[in-house]
Structure 1
Amino acid sequence: MTDEDVAPDQGELAITRTGDRLRLAREAAGLSLADVATRTRITQRHLAAIEKSDFSELPGRTYVTGFARAYARAVDLPEAEIGAAVRQELEDDEYGSRPLYEAYEPTDPARLPTARLTWTLVIVTLLLASAYGVWRFLSVEPDEALIAAQNRAADESEAPQSDAAPATATKASAVAANAPVVLTGLSEVWIGFDDATGKTENWRTLEAGEVYQVPPAYIEQFTLRTSIPQALKVTVGGRDVGSIGPASTLVKGVSLKPVDLVAHTQGGAAATPAGPRPKG
């Protein structure tokens, strides 16, 4: 038997990662990374990381699936399927990175660990398990059902404002309806613009110090969302209106109209908790 009889067809290697599917779909469509970046408003380095399935290069877990779905939409792949595949790969990578432990099997009574060593190992194991539990809690990505439930809870918990509400309304009404709305990244931050149905139509990433003036058409048609409110500075007519929500909390449905923005931040509008975002 010759080598030619057993050599596999190098042109038919199996695609095992979602990034490969996205890259091949892009190439089949004759698109460059720059083309996809223009369509999705996602930086080329993040798109390249997705193609390599190198998710450690992306800002966080929530961004991984969001960026992958946007990429899929840009190259006509089913975004829900791609999002599910990426989440599975994240789980598989996480499982594969866990340390393996071998059970201690003494063969000689003289090798048995002392009581002090045994208790030390037990305590260390408990600490590691607790740390993993905390990390798992902080890194888990809420699904759409959980976010919807949290939205309902936030809506139901909203109560009429106190006597300070008229003062807030007065301040908001003093803002010009056509005042420019400017977003500035205090650190790298992902922002999205949702249509009237709540579907995110446009994304972009602001680098630290990057300034983005919201187009008038966006102000009229879309609302703002972000999961890192503390990394985003919002100004209306050159005036800093303060944070649009609590730190590391999913904020969405924020009206971009100048009067609404001032009322939202000064009135302490509720945000939708998304859990602390993973480190990225």
Structure 2
Amino acid sequence: MAEEEVATQGELAITRTGDRLRLAREAAGLSLADVATRTRITQRHLQAIEKSEFSELPGRTYVTGFARAYARAVDLPETEIAADIRRELDEDQYGARPIYEAYEPTDPARLPTARLAWTLVIVAAVLVSAYGVWRFLSVEPDEALVAAQNRDADASEAPAAATAPVVAGKTAADGAVPADAPIVLTGISEVWIGFDDANGKTENWRTLDPGETYQVPSAYIEQFTLRTSRPQALKVTVGGRDIGSLGAADTLVKSISLKPADLLARAEGGATAPAPKASPRR
């Protein structure tokens, strides 16, 4: 009887989605480092998800997207995990609201005036609106928003200007460019980057913290193109040479070739490189 009670208590203790992900990882014999390698998500973010410490992550969309990637890595249904995470986020947001202190109706001195009540309502509305604007500008797009941005970019993209032929591995200033020149991405501030396949679908993504570097794998150079929605927060170098900005600040840019010659051509003014698709973040 005692053993059954202990088992029941153990089951009831697993009430958070982070616990479920952690148990699935342990059952598969994986470490956090293994999951980080599979998902390209930093270990501290994965650990925050396991502990359900969602405030440690940059935003709600990050939490949901990282949890889905984690679920795929440990063979859990990602749609179910994402739904559970959204529910927990809603519950946490409700639980964080200040508890209303009821005033005794027999004490008129403690009752707020109508003017004060309306002032508080207006201030709350302004704060909610400001929070919504901040969330819109700072949180990376989920899959649906990315698809919408792609459609906007395709619809508004101007025809590419005629370009001069590119001599593979050459730039006007530097001469020969090694075919295996390392391509390094560095976060100036926290930035989300994605790698798109030939159909424009984002297959891999990750975040870079300020000062964090990521060398693009050689296999990615031919298979994928680069996208980001904060070009001003990302530095791209080819063989140690900074190629400059990828686009206007807070603008989604995509279809950026990762080939060294194309990137260096952008550094020379972009006249010989295909123009990336871009659309303002809405």
Normalised to the residue count of structure 1, the TM-score between the two structures is: 0.77
Q: Which residue of 2 aligns with 1:74?
A: 73
Q: Which moved more, 1:151-160 or 1:252-261?
A: 252-261
Check 1:272–1:29 CA distance in 2 against 1; reply closer, same or farther (3 A cut): farther
Q: Which moved more, 1:250-259 or 1:265-274?
A: 265-274
* Mean CA deviation greater in 191-200 or 220-229: 191-200
What per-residue deviation string (whole Å, max 9, x for no partner) do you get for residues 86-120 of structure 1?
Answer: 2232222222212344566743666665xxx5324
Q: Distance in 1 between matches of 2:259 and 2:98?
A: 51
1:119 aligns with 2:115: yes
More displaced 10-residue stretch of structure 1: 30-39 or 117-126: 117-126
Amino acid at match of 1:131: L
Instruction: For 2:163 and 2:3, locate their aligned partners in 1 and report how far apart those are by CA, in whole Å.
Output: 83
Structure 2 residue 127 is matched with structure 1 residue 128: no
Select between 228-237 and 22-31 the one with higher mean Cα deviation: 228-237
Number of the residue aligned with 1:278: none
Q: Is contact 1:181–1:235 with CA below 8 Å preserved after alignment?
A: yes
Deviation at 1:78, TM superposition (A): 1.7
Between the two proteins, the alignment pairs up a number of residues equal to 267
CA distance in 1, matches of 2:225, 2:53: 31
Letter in 1 for 2:131: W
- Contact 2:68/2:78 (<8 A) preserved: yes
Question: Any conservation in 2 of the 1:147–1:274 contact (CA below 8 Å)?
Answer: no
Q: Which amino acid aligns with 2:132?
A: R
- Which SS does the other structure have where 2:76 is aligned? coil
Does residue 18 of structure 2 align to residue 11 of structure 1?
Answer: no
CA distance in 1, matches of 2:5, 2:87: 32
CA contact (8 A) 1:36 1:71 kept: yes
Given that residues 177 and 257 in structure 1 are in contact (C-alpha distance below 8 angstroms), is that contact kept between their aligned partners in structure 2?
Answer: no
AA aligned to 2:27 is A
Contact between 1:252 and 1:272, CA under 8 Å: does it hold in 2? no
2:195 corresponds to which residue?
A: 193
Q: 1:174 aligns with which of 153, 171, 176?
A: 171
Question: Do residues 53 (structure 1) and 60 (structure 2) align?
Answer: no
Partner of residue 87, structure 2? 88
Normalised TM-score (structure 2): 0.76
- Which residue, 231, 242, 245 being the options, matches 1:243? 245
Distance across 1 between alignment mates of 2:266 and 2:225? 12
| 1:183 equivalent in alignment to 2:182 | no
Instruction: Give the drift of 1:31.
Output: 1.2
Selected match of 1:139 from 116, 122, 135: 135
User: 2: CA distance between counterparts of 1:118 and 1:5?
Assistant: 59
Q: Do the aligned partners of 1:72 and 1:79 also contact (CA within 8 Å) in 2?
A: yes
The 10-residue stretch of structure 1 (217-226 or 178-187) with the greater mean CA deviation from structure 2: 178-187
SS at match of 1:13: helix
Residue 139 (structure 1) shift? 2.2
**More displaced stretch, 180-189 vs 32-41:** 180-189
C-alpha deviation, 1:30, in angstroms = 1.2
Q: Does structure 2 conserve the Cα–Cα contact (< 8 Å) formed by 1:183 and 1:214?
A: yes
Gaps of at least 5 residues in structure 1 are 276-280
CA deviation profile, 1:121-161 (whole Å, cap 9, x unmatched): 32232022121122134326655334322321222112246
Counterpart mapping for 1:194-233 below 5 A? 194-233=196-235
Which segment is superposed worse, 96-105 or 51-60? 96-105
Cα 1:122–1:224 change in 2 (3 A) is same
CA contact (8 A) 2:254 2:276 kept: no
Counterpart AA for 2:171: A
Q: Percent identity?
A: 69
Shift of the 65–183 alpha-carbon distance from structure 1 to 2, 3 Å rule, reads: same
1:31 corresponds in structure 2 to 30
Q: Which amino acid aligns with 2:50?
A: E
In 1, Cα distance between the equivalents of 2:79 and 2:110?
Answer: 55
Distance 1:264 1:26 in 2: 43
